[in-house]
Structure 1
């Protein structure tokens, strides 16, 4: 039995039998700057047992010693669980002394050494269940308690946790002679284990205050010393203040966690994490060393507000188990866009959501492993994979539809009641729906069943009739096989093309479950050029345009930004489904090379490249990519240097150029005129894939800069060179690589132009994957198995199902029904995308 993989039934049994009264954690990382791989920690847990139980404390580490009520007992520690003796009803005091292991995978307590100045930085990442990698605990979200935290670390370091520091005591020098202190923090409010956080290192801090209706809130912003000059304090602090002024009013509850720190950390697996009072962010995503687009800054604002909304939905009121993960993530995804549009300069948030974010939801929902928004999460491995496009983007789109269904004022009234009823507690979907039904007066039982407990995407088909436009919803629940008949409240608009631009001439709001006819007069008349169901992106649905509307969408610009995003997203879905050719889609995006929306332009260029590389016949692919590369170069020349389109098209020169070694002269010319370091590395990597630069040249570029980001980029570039893939594979499978270094080497190993060499180095992928899964943490195993999956093209005269790699995946699935469900999910999803690509290549 894999005792790391806590099951839902085990968690339910434990929660029924005991309550955690308080939990003290003393973490000692004084030796972190040295070369040791371990740290020490002590957990003191007071519990109230309601019924006799024999259970365990979760801890993933090297060693554990256990005392129960002051008496040392055998912990029977297996590396994941500290087993407790049978406990009778009453109060018990547990003390576990543990030895933990520093992480380089972004899970647990991650240790990073800055290659530029040699400094050591620590941070934690615990969701869904990696707090047990740092301190012994009961690792489940519904055993909330107060945490009393102290950290021993070098005195000169920044040392942070969820609460404010209350005092510090000198403890002498560590083995390097560095003076250390023990820092004590105020007790937290009641929170789940995965929300605790520990930060230690020479982080540079910036401080500010948010003036809010509840009074001043102290703000701290932190990053590594070598990135401090690039930290955009003004924009980050402004958005943070705007959020803290907006959310308390929306939620009817003051900010509950005291101070508000934002820490930007290296080698982070996520975009950010909502630790109460001490949010962690990915520095790679949100600190820009050089050029950044407005879309990137808007995305950063959205993430700041997404995490801040979790201070209420997720932290203050927490799901009971990971089945209801969507409750907090979909809510935060929705609130990130809502508050960006309402409170910040980034008012285009819903435009960006419709144009790019929804694609994640739609593609995930069409996989064989799709699941209802309310997912069945039987264990922690499943929970780890539930952070997907359904949980985030589809859930947010459905919440947007719910707001349209019940009304925004009624929606927030229900949310305020929900928080009032479940302060610092756990709650379920039923609790939320009850509050919303009370505030809106609407029965949400049927709505919930149709939207939250079904899978798949429905399509609204457009047909022009004599009396009006006929809209029909079609679709099949991919799990039950039953027709989808979800209730939609949508806006249907008519557009007329004038001088190459589609302008809206009429709109009509309508409820649709199966078929509805809208009189022509409501949308501008029967001579409209384009009919757009789901204008303003109020619901979650695909659109099947009529022929006239499709032609208008492909050949005209769109005046309204949100309508443009909806149309653009639907055209990409048609390409993804094989209803538009990749070249048609590429021609469509070439028409607007200077598109004002950086988010939409970036999404379009990425999608066009992916379609041309995956969905085009092999015999036609090089010509299609060459033609698109010419489009990219012309678009870059049209753009003003330093503008968003200029940055996006330059990035596309690098990514498309990696497929076209024969275009190296063009890539080299762009490189010669590029000073932005991240762009330079992208262009150098493309040249490396084409064997047009040497290791010596790449080394010289690294020596010129040498930051952590440059080390990662250099690793990707050097492994992109032809040759040496067997050695690269050996390193991937056997070396102790950090998460970022592993991904960089996978990117280099799998360069498209060297696929034959990669396949020769790894002919036995399916024979290796179970060993990879067993030997690595889930984070690294997923990166390896997803990244190394073999994709080959359609052979002339064959069917997709006859492809050798597809047959190998099918055989592995058939022969390994008992393999871990999370591993099978990877192979099922990768095989499905492979088959989709091969089917599209048959066009």
Structure 2
């Protein structure tokens, strides 16, 4: 596999992109790629011919971005260029420019194993080769030379040469096909409408294909017809439930045509599920790519089906918000991702059979946001993205989940009708163009009749999470008065941040051991530090008060002592109320305000009430991971084994296949990976389940069981390899890597650590993105601690990893190998050797890449939080 060091100028700066945009106005690209030799493992590059037409400032010079294997020739306006003199790291420098320019480039690009650029995958089931591309934010330059920034849109004409028997696709519809040598043909695709480089896409391989057709109309009556197509690897075809995906696609198109009143603009609508994908999905117009984890080869819960629907409609929203109208630079990445996260969830809730989309959002999606927003590295929703490395890291919980939460709050603030009226104006006004936040705010102000700048300043340009609590004065058995209080601090500045919240206060009536029943919801609008709530006066003192009932706003809720007790013992009526309340309790655990044991006991006590498998999985995962990290070492093993026993007993009580059983088993296997010496009876149960074909674990859970048994020395290498060889699939291949790295042997751990640091397996082959992650994950499953004691090596090697591996791969290593297993007995957050070492590296490495430093700062914060939580009084 061809590997090149990261060029010194790979990290394009915002000011450089802005300067280029002042010089260049792109018109169109002709891109001709040749995948005809892709099936040959000895060939690790592919030929590319690129022609770019653009207008420019006469006499100026500029550059194209390119991270290929080599450049063979460059011709500018008919004049052959001296390639050696114009190649500069990640750039091809061209000039002087005319008013109208044409540059032709012949080059060779590299097949990727990291999921960046054109990724090449060999199916272990049948040896077939599959290609797909992934370009956001700037990996398009790994495929063809281009002006790789979102505001230099162009029309694209693509041709792909590949095996004649393969399915080949791009953004545009297939226009023609012609022979191209033995066994190959050249497919030419229709010219696209103007779009950014990061959403161009290429697909080739023996994919299985399903066809359908959508017909509908917009709100104003325009008729729309869209060809639909689904693709996945041939070996996965039996597991592809195409009917459900097509149904959700049609439901989504109906919903968006009604709400946006704008016809789907990209012609065909292909959706392809691809292997070793780094993301959930990508909104390439006309050819959306998804992780093939959404092709369920094992029993999938209802929440997994719902999550897939959410992803489908999230990407569909981007066809308008992101693709039709695109941010000018990555500062406004949130504008497309937050919008799609919010509107996609709303569409699932209103257009499909899934009715718990907002419950899942409150429980899982917002937990991601709250965590990200409390790091020292937090940023406003409108971020300051100075370069591409920062852009890559800002696909985070703030850009997605916090932004979506805030847009949900915005819809409550101005009303849904005004919100969607603004969206329709925005699409009509800026179609095929690029925008900033001000353009969206202008449409909002027009639609709502309000000046939105104050709201934007409060919510979009400050960082951090507000806390909300209800304080009461209780007299004579009733609530005499009540105040809704708000506080908040921007972690970056230490300054107080108060925001306008439109929300509800839920009132619940305790009923002994039964869940507290819903009684009434009080509407509230708070803008300052406090708000009187006269509607609560006179209520009995035993009422449970839930701030932000319905989860309309973005804030941590702080229950009072009485409410906390009811939530953790009897629970609340209503799935969304329970999810909202437990989200608040989990934040208390992470903030060191509540012992994690109380949270875990509350999950065990009230878990039978939770019917949404996604919420149930989230609560159990939080309980397990919380006990593993936030309990003192001397009590941790007992608490983890208690939780494992509860999970195993719950499975035994209802052994028949169900969503609940699947969630219980997944959590059980995760927890057993943390227990240092689990009882023999627990491991015996796992072995019996694995060996019983009638129990029906399925591939995913069977391999999770094997990983646990491997980590505790119950399964050796020969048995693991035999299991994989008997059913060679993508899942079993990755899980074998994880299981082998989990073995309790110091030499095994040393080899896995070296593989992670170098990005290569023991045989010298480059680890794929999934292979690298599995190696790291298996290394970290170390209940016996045999892989400990290598913390100093981490600080010696991470800068070399960052320089040698792609940002995506390096991020996996730097994040996954951070020395995190700190114990309070060895020092508190200020004095623990791991924390001291991390702060020492940060102090000594001020010139290290900002993106690398950000990872270390965030992991250090997690470490300090772990130690503070261990110190909470029990």
Q: TM-score range by the shorter chain?
A: over 0.9
| 1:52 Cα offset (Å) | 3.7
- In structure 2, the CA distance between the partners of 1:539 and 1:358, relative to structure 1 (3 Å rule), is same
Give the distance between the partners of 1:67 and 1:680, measured in 2 at CA. Answer: 57
TM-score (normalised: structure 2): 0.94
Name the residue aligned to 1:414. 422
Conserved 8 A contact 2:826-2:832: no
Conserved 8 A contact 2:742-2:782: no
Give the distance between the partners of 1:521 and 1:476, measured in 2 at CA. Answer: 29
Name the residue aligned to 2:259. 250
Conserved 8 A contact 1:43-1:95: yes
| 1:571 Cα offset (Å) | 1.3
| 1:480 Cα offset (Å) | 2.3
Among 683, 686, 698, the residue aligned to 1:667? 686
| 1:518 Cα offset (Å) | 4.4
| 1:300 Cα offset (Å) | 0.3
- In structure 2, the CA distance between the partners of 1:648 and 1:523, relative to structure 1 (3 Å rule), is farther
Give the distance between the partners of 1:644 and 1:41, measured in 2 at CA. Answer: 48
Conserved 8 A contact 1:7-1:380: yes
Q: How does 1:510-529 map to 2 (within 5 A)?
A: 510-519=524-533, 521-522=535-536, 525-529=539-543
Task: Tell whether 2:89 aligns with 1:82.
Answer: no
Among 281, 284, 287, the residue aligned to 1:272? 281
Give the distance between the partners of 1:752 and 1:526, measured in 2 at CA. Answer: 52
Where 1:680 maps in the other structure, the secondary structure is helix
Conserved 8 A contact 1:507-1:523: no
Task: Tell whether 2:828 aligns with 1:824.
Answer: no
Name the residue aligned to 2:594. 580
Where 2:74 maps in the other structure, the secondary structure is strand
Conserved 8 A contact 1:464-1:546: no
- 1:753-788 superposed Cα distances (whole Å, 9 cap, x missing partner): 144x32335641001000000000001000011011
| 1:379 Cα offset (Å) | 0.6
Task: Tell whether 2:726 aligns with 1:726.
Answer: no
Among 761, 786, 791, the residue aligned to 2:820? 791
Among 104, 120, 125, the residue aligned to 1:95? 104
Q: How does 1:54-453 map to 2 (within 5 A)?
A: 54-64=61-71, 65-75=73-83, 76-88=86-98, 90-173=99-182, 179-213=183-217, 214-284=223-293, 286-453=294-461
Conserved 8 A contact 1:492-1:523: no
Name the residue aligned to 1:633. 648
Name the residue aligned to 1:802. 831
- Greater Cα offset, 513-522 or 110-119: 513-522
Conserved 8 A contact 2:673-2:711: yes
Conserved 8 A contact 2:121-2:275: yes
- Greater Cα offset, 650-659 or 321-330: 650-659
Give the distance between the partners of 1:491 and 1:418, measured in 2 at CA. Answer: 30
Name the residue aligned to 1:32. 38
Note the aligned Cα RMSD (angstroms).
1.4
Give the distance between the partners of 1:523 and 1:355, measured in 2 at CA. Answer: 30
Conserved 8 A contact 1:230-1:288: yes
Give the distance between the partners of 2:108 and 2:531, measured in 1 at CA. Answer: 68
Conserved 8 A contact 1:618-1:793: no
- In structure 2, the CA distance between the partners of 1:472 and 1:719, relative to structure 1 (3 Å rule), is same
Task: Tell whether 2:585 aligns with 1:571.
Answer: yes
Gaps of 5+ in 1: 174-178
- 1:481-522 superposed Cα distances (whole Å, 9 cap, x missing partner): 211110111111111112511112121111112344444545
Conserved 8 A contact 1:44-1:94: yes
Where 1:217 maps in the other structure, the secondary structure is strand
Task: Tell whether 2:66 aligns with 1:47.
Answer: no
- Greater Cα offset, 130-139 or 552-561: 552-561
Conserved 8 A contact 1:62-1:79: no
Name the residue aligned to 1:498. 511
- Greater Cα offset, 314-323 or 514-523: 514-523
- 1:42-97 superposed Cα distances (whole Å, 9 cap, x missing partner): 11011111354221111101211210011111232244111112224x10111111
| 1:527 Cα offset (Å) | 2.9
Conserved 8 A contact 1:251-1:412: yes
Give the distance between the partners of 1:407 and 1:51, measured in 2 at CA. Answer: 49
| 1:107 Cα offset (Å) | 0.1
- In structure 2, the CA distance between the partners of 1:74 and 1:814, relative to structure 1 (3 Å rule), is same
| 1:134 Cα offset (Å) | 0.3
Name the residue aligned to 1:176. none
- 1:87-133 superposed Cα distances (whole Å, 9 cap, x missing partner): 24x10111111110000000000000001101000000000000000
Task: Tell whether 2:560 aligns with 1:546.
Answer: yes
Name the residue aligned to 1:489. 502
Conserved 8 A contact 2:822-2:834: no
Name the residue aligned to 1:560. 574
Give the distance between the partners of 2:634 and 2:469, measured in 1 at CA. Answer: 34
Give the distance between the partners of 2:318 and 2:309, measured in 1 at CA. Answer: 14
Task: Tell whether 2:491 aligns with 1:507.
Answer: no
Conserved 8 A contact 1:461-1:474: no
| 1:640 Cα offset (Å) | 5.5
Task: Tell whether 2:31 aligns with 1:15.
Answer: no
| 1:408 Cα offset (Å) | 0.2
Conserved 8 A contact 2:260-2:420: yes
Give the distance between the partners of 1:685 and 1:126, measured in 2 at CA. Answer: 33
Among 771, 779, 798, the residue aligned to 2:808? 779
- In structure 2, the CA distance between the partners of 1:555 and 1:427, relative to structure 1 (3 Å rule), is same
| 1:726 Cα offset (Å) | 1.7
| 1:330 Cα offset (Å) | 0.3
- In structure 2, the CA distance between the partners of 1:748 and 1:519, relative to structure 1 (3 Å rule), is closer
Where 1:313 maps in the other structure, the secondary structure is coil
- Greater Cα offset, 402-411 or 517-526: 517-526
| 1:564 Cα offset (Å) | 1.6
Conserved 8 A contact 2:58-2:96: no
TM-score (normalised: structure 1): 0.97
- Greater Cα offset, 582-591 or 523-532: 523-532
- 1:789-810 superposed Cα distances (whole Å, 9 cap, x missing partner): 1123224273222111111110
- 1:423-468 superposed Cα distances (whole Å, 9 cap, x missing partner): 0111111000000100000111111001000000110122112542
Give the distance between the partners of 1:820 and 1:83, measured in 2 at CA. Answer: 25
